[in-house]
Structure 1
Amino acid sequence: MPTIQQLIQYLRANNHIGSTNAITATDLANHFGISDGGVEVEMRNVIRDAIAQNELIGSHSRGFYLIGTLTELEENLDSLQSRAENILQRRRNMMNNWNAQNLSNQSSRTDLFVQ
């Protein structure tokens, strides 16, 4: 499995800077020889770890890339917010549906919101 440094060096050396130069997780995994033939979980974990360690790696439907502009950063921030809101809406719907069908056995979980 590649280190974060190896990942960043590969992205820079192969000009995967900016959203128009994205590379898929599959292609990254194949390059580093870690493909599991599926959703490339190991590669995605390296990318998550890199972001947690202050690397600016963006993504969209065509792959991953080093964020190069404020616009790209804000597009990624907006996308993550939207995904978080959608997940919380799904959670809210599940809880409300359960509570509506189980009046004597209600969930006590608090509703959550993105701020």
Structure 2
Amino acid sequence: MTTLSNQDLSSHDLLMTAGNWHDSGKKVALATVIQTWGSSPRQAGSLMIIDEDMTMLGSVSGGCIEGAVIQEALEIMDHGEAKILEFGVGDEQAWDVGLACGGTIQVYVERLEAA
């Protein structure tokens, strides 16, 4: 997995980069925080892009659930069916991936399709 520098990346920058990756022939997925409850490291609207080589930019959680989101994104890139993922402190998987912030996060993961 390659993590590129996330410093000062706007949503526009992330979407442009995702488009460039897709235009170069790579499979790409977009993960978007769609809702949060309680304490969460990222707000709704936060983005992360992932390519088929597991290169990622952006963040949906400050690092605590990114690994699980990337694994789902890889599957979604192959079969194309978007999915809503939910992580919270009551979710055993959330503890496994490190979400101990006390909140709940919903992340929508979709495959980037040609325009």
Compute the TM-score of the two structures, normalised by the length of structure 2. 0.28
Greater strand proportion? 2
Greater helix proportion? 1
Compute the TM-score of the two structures, normalised by the length of structure 1. 0.28
Which of the pair has the greater relative contact order for Cα pairs under 8 Å at 6+ separation? 2
